[in-house]
Amino acid sequence: MLKNKLGITESVKLMKEEERISKNRALELFEQGILDTFEAGTFDTLSKIHKYLFDDIYDFAGKVRTVNIAKGGFRFVPVMYLSAALQEIEQMPQSSFDEIIEKYVEMNVAHPFREGNGRSTRIWLDLMLKKEINHVIDWSQVNKEDYLLAMERSPVKDTEIKLLLRNALTERVNDREVYMKGIDASYSYEGYDVYKTGELKKGKEYAKKCSR
């Protein structure tokens, strides 16, 4: 289990606290207009999102990982090549839906953080879509199993993930309900589904209180 600021030593309890605290933070990003102040498509923005979500929980929040990681037999970009990979990804074009998804797929392959990559990168993806083509993904319309399989195959062929996400596009870019349901769906892909974002208490002070 990952070392954490909460001093929790039970993995199930850590997952619950991580979900509760970071979902509150995710809601703050939207409700306080913080996301709209970030530049779309940069690693600096992704790092800021990750730090905002997980800073009350992990010391490594917002920091590039220093260990090699793998998932389901797939090895993400090795640490020795990670910095160069992130620079290349940042320079990728993002003026169309296809370009944005291609950039998202490459960032997923990089997996720059020790934990919380998927949840933070999907917010990063929506910010690009919102600022570049005035759409976001309604993640509540994206089936978990379909998404995970499509992402698993995306480094080889991204046609499937593009089709899946294109079919879930919405113009409701500033809709609070779409955002909250999207956060819940995004978290459920990673197995975090105890709390509903709309039912949690809001605010930075509450998040800080939970971390003590």
Q: Angle of helix 11-31 relative to helix 204-211, nearest 10 degrees?
A: 160
What is the rounded distance in angstroms from the CA atom of residue 101 to the CA atom of residue 105? 6
Task: Decide: 173 and 136 in contact? Cβ < 8 Å.
Answer: yes
Please report, for residues 37, 85, 140, 179, the alpha-carbon distance to residue 171 in angstroms, rounded to integers and kept in the order given.
Answer: 20, 32, 14, 12
The pLDDT value recorded for residue 198 is 85
Residue 103, sorted as left (phi over 0), alpha (psi -120 to 50) or beta, turns out to be: alpha
DSSP secondary structure of 82-126? HHHHHHHHHTS--SSHHHHHHHHHHHHHH--SSS-HHHHHHHHHH
The pLDDT value recorded for residue 209 is 42
Query: In DSSP terms, which residues pair with 75 in a beta bridge?
Result: 70
Q: Which two tokens stand for residue 94?
A: 């993002």
Task: Decide: 30 and 127 in contact? Cβ < 8 Å.
Answer: no
What is the rounded distance in angstroms from the CA atom of residue 136 to the CA atom of residue 174? 9
Specify the length of the chain in residues. 212
Query: In DSSP terms, which residues pair with 170 in a beta bridge?
Result: 136
Please report, in tens digits, the pLDDT of each residue of the chain (212 residues total).
899 999 999 999 999 999 999 999 999 999 999 999 999 999 999 999 999 999 999 999 999 999 999 988 889 999 999 999 999 999 999 999 999 999 999 999 999 999 999 999 999 999 999 999 999 999 999 999 999 999 999 999 999 999 999 999 999 999 999 999 999 999 999 999 999 998 886 544 444 443 34
Task: Decide: 161 and 132 in contact? Cβ < 8 Å.
Answer: no
Number of C-beta neighbours around residue 70 at 10 A: 9
11-191 has which fold?
Fic-like fold (1.10.3290)
What is the rounded distance in angstroms from the CA atom of residue 200 to the CA atom of residue 17? 12
Query: In DSSP terms, which residues pair with 137 in a beta bridge?
Result: 169
- DSSP class of residue 77 equals P
Please report, for residues 52, 98, 192, 209, the alpha-carbon distance to residue 125 in angstroms, rounded to integers and kept in the order given.
Answer: 16, 12, 20, 29
The pLDDT value recorded for residue 211 is 38
Domain boundaries, the chain: 11-191
Q: Which two tokens stand for residue 212?
A: 């003590």
The pLDDT value recorded for residue 201 is 63
